[in-house]
Amino acid sequence: MRWCRSPCSTGTYDSVQDVVSLHGHEGRTTVQWLDVPELVGVGRG
């Protein structure tokens, strides 16, 4: 998982379920898969 707002950070998890369990805010945050073209320039702003 990559947080693209300051302060930026990257985390490695065993599964998407682990990410949602830790960072899902009881369903108020979702995981979205992005295609590679959508990632161009992300986090470089």
Domain locations in the chain? 2-34
Q: What is the pLDDT of residue 3?
A: 76
Total-model pTM: 0.50
Give whole-number Cα distances, 12 to 15, 19, 45, in Å. 9, 9, 23
- Mean pLDDT, residues 1-21 taken together: 86
- Flag whether pLDDT at 44 surpasses 70: no
- Mean pLDDT, residues 19-45 taken together: 75
Q: What is the pLDDT of residue 14?
A: 94
Let me know: does 18 contact 9? Beta carbons within 8 Å. Answer: no
- Mean pLDDT, residues 11-31 taken together: 87
Give the angle 35-4-2 at the CA atoms, nearest 5°: 65
